[in-house]
Amino acid sequence: MRRVNGGNEKMKRPILDSRRRAVLAVVAAFPGGRECAATCLGLDLKQFDNKLYENPGHRPLTDEQVLQLERVAGTTYLPDYLTGLYNGVFVAMPELADTDNIDLLARAMGTAVKRGKVDAMILKALEDGQIDEAELASIITAHRQHIAARHAEVGAILALHRRQGDAQ
């Protein structure tokens, strides 16, 4: 699985070019790995592996099962992959109960960092005067993350500061 190159090794994110890779990335990010993911879904390891690796005669993990794993792992790989198919971005909208001014500041800083990462990647890619396919894929992935962060930031601002009488 190819990974996005970046300065911080902990910030690497796989480039998701198939549903299978997205699901494998979810399991790789799951605390405790495959064994714990299988237990979380109530499957024995052999059943889980057959579904995970889409072995012949076995159905892959369902979207609901992947969602359950992503909620525990704190990832959004499957919706990121699916929205990427449509040249879109997935944005999990914040819950109003979880939003305050400190959260807004943290979101704004996170958005700025992601924009800076995109700009730095573009600058580095242009050092030789052109952008190759690997650089393009990395830049697009980082750009989608930046746009998603900005959209969530704006959504949080609107949710927190919306006039109470206007809320539906």
Helix (H, G, I), strand (E, B) or coil at 14: strand
Chain mean pLDDT for the chain: 87
Is residue 119 assigned to a domain?
Answer: yes
Angle (deg, nearest 10), helices 19-29 and 33-40: 100
Tell me: do 63 and 103 sit in the same domain: no
Is residue 65 assigned to a domain?
Answer: yes
pLDDT for 166 equals 57
Tell me: do 49 and 78 sit in the same domain: yes
Is residue 134 assigned to a domain?
Answer: yes
Q: Band the pLDDT of 13: cuts 50, 70, 90.
A: low
pLDDT for 45 equals 96
Specify the number of domains making up the chain. Answer: 2
pLDDT for 11 equals 42
Residue 115 has pLDDT above 90, yes or no: yes
The string of pLDDT tens digits covering residues 82-106 is: 998 998 888 877 776 778 889 899 9
Q: How far apart are CA 35 and CA 21, in angstroms?
A: 18
Q: How far apart are CA 5 and CA 14, in angstroms?
A: 9
Tell me: do 65 and 22 sit in the same domain: yes
Amino acid at 144: R
Contact assessment for residue 23 and residue 66, using Cβ atoms and an 8 Å cutoff: yes
Angle (deg, nearest 10), helices 45-52 and 19-29: 140
List of long-range contacts for 34-40, beta carbons under 8 Å, 24+ apart: 37/69, 40/68, 40/69, 40/72
Tell me: do 119 and 157 sit in the same domain: yes
pLDDT higher for 13 or 86? Answer: 86
Is residue 70 assigned to a domain?
Answer: yes
Q: How far apart are CA 119 and CA 78, in angstroms?
A: 26
Is residue 66 assigned to a domain?
Answer: yes
Q: Band the pLDDT of 163: cuts 50, 70, 90.
A: confident
Q: How far apart are CA 32 and CA 11, in angstroms?
A: 19
Q: Which of 85, 120, 141 is the last residue of a domain?
A: 85
Enclosing domain of residue 152: 96-166
pLDDT above 90 as % of the chain: 64
Mean pLDDT on 114-129: 96
The string of pLDDT tens digits covering residues 35-57 is: 999 999 999 999 999 999 999 99
